[in-house]
Structure 1
């Protein structure tokens, strides 16, 4: 049985714009597509995606590069995708999320919130 959803977590000290590009391009290259994202100031982004089961192993191996460090629990997801399961269910679409924490010295970004009429 394939895990659904897939939850991948990691952190980086790298440039957040480059890391977001790296993550989105890696998801696309590994038979996946981004469905949504949420940015929490300049410290955390959560990218929701869907991906074919056959691309999950490559996704995790490719994400764990370029300064993005995945936690052990995220790297261990690879073990849940043995080759025989992928042969039977390789095209099955799975939902997932990628949570990236940015370790930086930048001050929090502030967003103007308009007043609510009434």
Structure 2
């Protein structure tokens, strides 16, 4: 299955940015298969979508105000699905989020 990797750096508020990116994925018939949040500084989203929808996804991200960068050519094709990883870095002056970790044992 073809794979792509994108990176986004944004000053958009974290929850709003994640919501907008989720909407861009969904609008192209894709879905988020996994995610990792790193405090309020960064997030990684794993996505899967139809391969033919990838150009529309990139256009939707740009239209939403996100400049997605890649270090390799995006896969192309008309049939099948593709998987991808989006690394998002949030630029802001807020302190790290504190998460309560329950005791183990």
1:107 matched to which residue of 2? 95
Point out the structure with max Rg over C-alpha. Answer: 1
* Alignment map for 1:29-44 (pairs within 5 Å): 29-44=27-42
User: Which secondary structure does the structure 1 equivalent of 2:102 belong to?
Assistant: coil
Deviation at 1:65, TM superposition (A): 3.5
1:11 to 9, 12, 32: 9
Q: Give the corresponding residue for 1:55.
A: 53
Q: Which runs of 5+ in 1 are unaligned?
A: none
- With over 3 angstroms needed to count, the CA separation of the structure-2 counterparts of 1:72 and 1:6, relative to structure 1, is closer
TM-score, length basis structure 2: 0.88
* Structure 1 residue matching 2:5: 3-state secondary structure: strand
Deviating above 3 A after TM superposition, structure 1's stretches of 4 or more consecutive aligned residues are none
What is the RMSD computed on CA atoms of the aligned residues?
A: 1.8
Tell me the TM-score normalised to structure 1 length. 0.79
Q: Distance in 1 between matches of 2:26 and 2:13?
A: 20
